[in-house]
């Protein structure tokens, strides 16, 4: 199954993340099919940049967001507030 999830980047104790599309069998930081944006939780407020067009295309093709990605997508308005991840 294809998943949209976060992959960790950044230095030790200074995490930042990328939104990536990858096969669910790949490792967290393994090979990605596409990169959709980035997320920096250390800034106040947290910095979230998502390519909404790419994200919508992958979601329409059946990619399933992880719980955290679904929460961030709802906050950005990409997923409706009532939709739950599968």
Model confidence pLDDT, tens digit, residues 69-85: 999 999 999 988 775 55
* Contact between residue 38 and residue 17 where contact means Cβ atoms under 8 Å apart: yes
Domain extent listing, the chain: 2-76
* Residue 10 confidence (pLDDT): 92
Helices (H), ranges, the chain:
52-60, 67-76
Residues of the chain with pLDDT under 50: none
Residue 73 falls in which region: left (phi positive, over 0), alpha (psi -120 to 50) or beta: alpha
* Residue 30 confidence (pLDDT): 87
Q: Model pTM? A: 0.85
Fold assignment, 2-76: S16 Ribosomal Protein; Chain: A; (3.30.1320)
């Amino acid at each position: 199954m294809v998943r949209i999830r976060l992959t960790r980047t950044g230095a030790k104790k200074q995490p930042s993340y990328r939104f990536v599309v990858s096969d669910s069998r790949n490792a967290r930081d393994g090979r990605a099919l596409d990169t959709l944006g980035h997320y920096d939780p250390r800034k106040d407020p947290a910095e979230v940049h998502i390519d909404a067009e790419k994200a919508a295309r992958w979601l329409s093709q059946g990619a399933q967001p992880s719980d955290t990605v679904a929460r961030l997508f709802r906050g950005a308005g990409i997923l409706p507030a009532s939709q739950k991840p599968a």
